[in-house]
Amino acid sequence: MRAHLATITTPALLLATLTLVGCGTQQRRIYVTSEPTGARVHLNDIDVGVTPVEVDFTYFGTYSVRLRKDGFEPLVTSRKAEAPFHEWPGIDLVAMAVPGDDVTEIAWHFELEPAKNDQEGVIERARVLRERLAAEEAEATNAPEDG
């Protein structure tokens, strides 16, 4: 009975020791850069700063991303933060028992397009729209009444 108890407690003590002493820290970071730099970044509708920016994150998955900078078209997209092998369920428990720091870094880079300040195009589209609305209004005025 005593030998049986020793065979059970020895692995349990070893596991407890590894868990308490050997546990490393786990850090997860997303790095967002842009060309040009200085764009305001929102991840899942939370303002995280201006590029280049580094932000800690908790969950893997798809993030909505928005970048804005004066003089450039706003960028609205999504990106996926995928879990590396050592963070897959089950494997992550073993990885956490290994001494040392575990850092997961995800880097996203975005290219911003210059703003389209086509003033002549805007004026032309406004003229066409005004003519279309005037024609529709005239048509509605001249239409026979139902009755």
Rg of the chain's alpha carbons, rounded to an integer? 29
Question: Would the pLDDT of 75 be above 60?
Answer: yes
Q: Which is higher by pLDDT, 99 or 64?
A: 64
**CA-to-CA dists, residue 47 to 17, 55, 56, 68, 140, angstroms:** 41, 10, 13, 11, 48
**pLDDT tens-digit series, residues 112-130:** 999 887 677 778 888 888 9
pLDDT band at 21 (very low <50, low <70, confident <90, very high): very low
pLDDT band at 103 (very low <50, low <70, confident <90, very high): confident
- Which pLDDT value is given to residue 47? 97
Show me where the domains of the chain are located.
Answer: 24-116
Residue 71 makes CB contacts below 8 A (sequence gap 6+) with 114, 115
HSE on the CB side for 85, CA within 13 Å? 0
Rounded distance between C-alpha atoms, residue 67 and residue 70, angstroms = 10
CATH number of 24-116: 3.40.50, 2.40.30, 1.20.5, 2.60.40? Answer: 2.60.40
pLDDT band at 41 (very low <50, low <70, confident <90, very high): very high
